[in-house]
Amino acid sequence: MRVHLCVVGRLRTGPERQLIDDYLARFEKTGRGLGLTFGGLTEVDARKGGMAAEAELLEKALPKGSKLVVLDERGKDLTSPQFSDRLAGFRDQAAGDVAFVIGGADGLDPRLRARADLAVSFGRMVWPHMLVRVMLAEQLYRAASILAGSPYHRV
């Protein structure tokens, strides 16, 4: 199963980008034997039009037939093992693609959020989008590590 990141905004070169690239490379290496690969990062930029315009661009970026996971403060607060179980569940249901979506500063358009297969929260606090990307990349790597039985995740 290919894992895609579809996000609003463009991340410049810097420490956050390095962390994301590192965790996604680790995810790719660990996940390959588990049937999990990184399908790519799509950044969209809707400077005008608000959430609706962002949602339209995000929808165009989603692979056809993909499972949709949105990051949203109203989403489920999962543990890392639960997150890995959900990822494995999508894979085991023969989903070819799963797309993780991170909205813009105002969040996600309610219509896009409503059609999600899963909404995940990284807590009730509001996080800068660049840090949410880092946390998502790390959790993808952690999920693959958990599924592989690696000691990276300690309970």
Does residue 155 belong to any structural domain of this protein?
no
Tell whether the torsion through CA atoms of 100, 70, 96 and 85 is positive or negative. positive
pLDDT in tens, the chain (155 residues): 999 999 999 988 999 999 999 999 999 999 999 999 999 999 998 778 889 999 999 999 999 999 999 999 999 999 999 999 999 999 999 999 999 999 988 889 999 999 999 999 999 888 888 899 999 999 999 999 999 999 888 76
Q: Give the CATH number, domain containing residue 16.
A: 3.40.1280.10
How many Cα atoms occupy the beta-carbon half-sphere of 64 within 13 Å? Answer: 0
Does residue 153 belong to any structural domain of this protein?
no
Does residue 125 belong to any structural domain of this protein?
yes
Does residue 92 belong to any structural domain of this protein?
yes
Does residue 127 belong to any structural domain of this protein?
yes
Does residue 154 belong to any structural domain of this protein?
no
What is the pTM (predicted TM-score) of this model?
0.94
Q: What's the structural domain count of the chain?
A: 1
Domain extent for 42: 2-148
